[in-house]
């Protein structure tokens, strides 16, 4: 992954260069940058990469009882599902059985 030396934004490949979408700084893609980051496939700047695998455990966890299996640990995240003047909705996913539930304030 290349970062723009001017503004710090992630730079994306475009042709044979890395381009900053924020300030339009460009730099040539070199063998060193390709080898260092092991770029094996070019991705169009118009493509979105969305990771949907449940194997990646990057969410924070908390102690909470699962309503399905009584496990005491779950991953959690917040999403603004109602009006901007109301609090976010808390979602939990059990680390054992993957049961997902929500809580409101």
Query: Which listed residue (36, 86, 88, 103) is catalytic?
Result: 86
What whole-number distance in Å separates Cα of residue 22 and Cα of residue 26? 11
> For domain 2-37, which CATH number applies: 2.20.70, 1.10.3470, 1.20.950, 3.40.720?
2.20.70
| Residue 21 contacts residue 9 (beta carbons within 8 Å) | yes
pLDDT category at 56 given cuts 50, 70, 90 is low
pLDDT category at 37 given cuts 50, 70, 90 is very low
The pTM assigned to this predicted structure is 0.47
Task: Say which range, 4-8, 35-39, 64-68, 98-102, has the weakest mean pLDDT.
Answer: 35-39
Closest-CA residue to 75 (of 52, 99, 51) = 99
| Residue 36 contacts residue 72 (beta carbons within 8 Å) | no
Query: Which listed residue (32, 47, 85, 105) is catalytic?
Result: 85
pLDDT category at 68 given cuts 50, 70, 90 is very high
Q: Where are the domains of the chain?
A: 2-37, 61-103
Per CATH, the number for 61-103 is 2.20.25.10
Annotated binding site: 4, 7, 20, 23, 66, 69, 94, 97
Give Cβ neighbours of residue 3 (< 8 Å, ≥ 6 apart).
9, 10, 11
Instruction: Please indicate whether residue 85 is annotated as part of the active site.
Output: yes
Averaged over 50-69, what is the pLDDT? Answer: 78
What does the pLDDT read at residue 92? 93
Give Cβ neighbours of residue 72 (< 8 Å, ≥ 6 apart).
63, 64, 65, 66
Annotated binding site for Zn(2+): 4, 7, 20, 23, 66, 69, 94, 97
What whole-number distance in Å separates Cα of residue 104 and Cα of residue 43? 39
């Amino acid at each position: 992954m290349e970062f723009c030396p001017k503004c710090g934004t992630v730079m994306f490949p475009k042709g044979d260069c890395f381009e900053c979408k924020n300030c339009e700084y460009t730099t040539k893609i070199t063998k060193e940058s390709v080898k260092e980051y092991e770029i094996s496939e070019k991705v169009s700047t118009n493509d979105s990469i969305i990771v949907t695998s449940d194997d990646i455990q990057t969410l924070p966890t908390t102690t909470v009882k699962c309503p399905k299996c009584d496990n005491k640990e779950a991953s959690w995240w917040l999403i603004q599902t109602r009006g901007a003047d109301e609090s976010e909705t808390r979602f939990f996913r059990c680390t054992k059985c993957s049961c997902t539930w929500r809580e409101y304030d």
